[in-house]
């Protein structure tokens, strides 16, 4: 009897739709506090609140199958690039379903040190493509252009406009398969779109099995990106051809480009991070896992991802996808990041946060051009706002007496070494972090 009831409950959960056409958020959606302990004060979780608002705005009338179809496009892009680069061939037909061989696909010239790591990544990405098939996607892999795609993508990171190309500017085109540095930069420039995009999809999916699986995609992609960042960090001072800049500089430009194309959020970071409001490691500023101040990774909506990989093309075509993406989610239109659904929660006392319809949310200003990245010491994208005491030790938290972490900004965290304290009883966490709560 218990098993039957559980199956019935899961069936209801799996088919429940939090949206109806033109209505926006319904009472049984993701923001409802369902247990007796609520409402909860989540006012300090500003990044996560905005990401959920963005997910609710992006949901529109799209179904879970539409989302899986969207995933097919991006997993084909990542997986085919990784597979061709490391093995010298593409997917089996059960994954491409007749999709064409990408333009410029070939095996990369990788060292014995890098090759095994990237082969594991390629096999993982093949598994991600397999997931979309087993989840019901019947879309073939779309037409993909590696040669033109990466040259336009990296060219945009260097602010090239009009008829100006990497070849005309630097004397030769960019070859993503040329060597370790070029290949790792190219892989990571896409990998972190998968990591943030997959995490963002968990806020759109209504089926708990699919949401669980896509969360697995996000964690897998984040792990892969961390390996790629480590390999690039070891090569950060190597010169990248044909740009004649270091790995650190080139990736800073890529990071700035991605951040500029996904709207208002500050959700991208280079190989180094000196912003004291986030995780900024003293002295070295190493940045293997881009996160907010809480150590939480970022999310992006499908529309934000499309806006990045097509460089803002209104029809969703160009760069890596010359004919566009397959499926219903194929344009960057409506990649809004914010809505007012959580602004008064929980001050109103209600246990359900309201959500505007997508029509009421409206639009946000278009993305600005990439930030100009210069110099060698601080290559992260500049951010607006004060920085507490301008050091990497405090991450921008206000230093004051201990208080409730849920209702005041009174937490103080030191990275890599403990802060001095007159209170000997204050606990020091592992790794030398002193926490006030």
> From the first residue on, what is the mean pLDDT of each consecutive set of 10 residues in the chain (437 residues)?
42 33 33 59 77 81 94 98 98 96 99 98 97 96 98 93 94 99 99 97 92 97 98 95 92 89 82 76 85 89 93 94 97 59 35 41 45 37 35 33 31 29 36 28
What pLDDT shows up at residue 379? 32
Query: Rounded distance, CA 249 to CA 62, Å?
Result: 39
Query: Rounded distance, CA 268 to CA 370, Å?
Result: 12
- Alpha-helical runs (H) found in 378-437: none
Helix, strand, coil share of the chain (percent; to 5): 40, 5, 55
Query: Rounded distance, CA 390 to CA 274, Å?
Result: 10
Q: Is 70 helix (H, G, I), strand (E, B) or coil?
A: helix
Asked if residues 126 and 91 have their Cβ atoms less than 8 Å apart, the reply is: yes
Burial of 381 (0-12, 13-18, 19+ CB in 10 A): buried
What pLDDT shows up at residue 123? 96
Give the list of residues 6+ apart from residue 172 with CB closer than 8 angstroms, or none. Answer: 166, 241, 242
* Cβ-based neighbour number of residue 262 at 10 Å: 26
- What's the length of the chain? 437
**Beta bridge pairs of residue 286:** 272
Query: Rounded distance, CA 44 to CA 57, Å?
Result: 21
Place of tokens 């040190």: 113
Query: Rounded distance, CA 193 to CA 404, Å?
Result: 35
What pLDDT shows up at residue 346? 34
The pTM score is 0.74
Helix (H) or strand (E) holding 333: none
Return the DSSP state at 5: H
Asked if residues 373 and 365 have their Cβ atoms less than 8 Å apart, the reply is: no
What pLDDT shows up at residue 34? 54
CA distances from 360 to 51, 58, 267 (A): 18, 13, 25
What pLDDT shows up at residue 39? 64
Joined together, the tokens standing for residue 278 give 């986030």
């Amino acid at each position: 009897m218990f098993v039957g009831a559980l199956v019935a409950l899961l069936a209801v959960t799996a088919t429940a739709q939090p949206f109806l056409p033109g209505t926006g958020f319904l009472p049984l959606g993701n923001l409802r506090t369902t247990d007796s302990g609520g409402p909860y004060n989540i006012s300090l979780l500003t990044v996560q609140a905005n990401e959920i608002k963005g997910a609710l705005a992006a949901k529109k009338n799209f179904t879970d199958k539409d989302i899986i179809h969207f995933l097919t496009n991006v997993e084909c892009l990542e997986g085919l690039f990784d597979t061709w680069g490391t093995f010298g061939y593409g997917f089996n037909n059960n994954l491409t379903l007749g999709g064409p061989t990408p333009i410029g696909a070939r095996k990369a010239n990788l060292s014995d040190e890098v090759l095994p790591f990237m082969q594991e990544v390629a096999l993982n990405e093949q598994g991600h493509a397999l997931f979309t098939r087993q989840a019901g996607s019947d879309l073939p892999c779309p037409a993909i252009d590696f040669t033109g795609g990466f040259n336009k993508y990296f060219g945009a990171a260097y602010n090239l406009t009009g008829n100006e190309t990497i070849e005309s500017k630097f004397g030769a085109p960019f070859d993503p398969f040329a060597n370790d540095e070029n290949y790792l930069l190219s892989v990571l420039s896409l990998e972190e779109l998968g990591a943030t995009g997959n995490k963002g999809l968990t806020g759109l999916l209504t089926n708990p099995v699919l949401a669980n699986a896509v969360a697995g995609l996000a964690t897998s992609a984040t792990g892969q990106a961390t390996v790629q960042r480590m390999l690039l960090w070891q090569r950060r001072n190597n010169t990248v051809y044909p740009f004649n800049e270091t790995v650190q500089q080139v990736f800073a430009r890529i990071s700035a480009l991605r951040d500029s194309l996904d709207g208002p959020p500050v959700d991208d970071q280079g190989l180094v991070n000196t912003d004291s409001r986030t995780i900024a490691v003293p002295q070295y500023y190493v940045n293997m896992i881009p996160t907010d101040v809480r150590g939480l990774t970022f999310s992006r909506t499908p529309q934000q991802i499309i806006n990045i990989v097509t460089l803002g093309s209104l029809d969703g075509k160009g760069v890596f996808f010359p004919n566009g993406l397959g499926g219903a989610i194929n344009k960057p239109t409506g990649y809004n990041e914010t809505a007012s659904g959580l602004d008064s929660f929980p001050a109103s006392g209600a246990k359900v946060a309201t959500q505007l319809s997508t029509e009421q949310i409206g639009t946000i200003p278009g993305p600005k051009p990439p930030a100009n990245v210069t110099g060698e010491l601080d290559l992260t994208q500049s951010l607006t706002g004060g920085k507490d005491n301008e050091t990497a030790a405090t991450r921008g938290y206000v230093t004051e007496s201990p208080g409730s972490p849920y209702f005041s900004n009174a937490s103080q965290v030191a990275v890599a070494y403990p802060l001095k304290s007159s209170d000997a009883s204050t606990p020091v966490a592992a790794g030398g972090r002193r926490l006030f709560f």
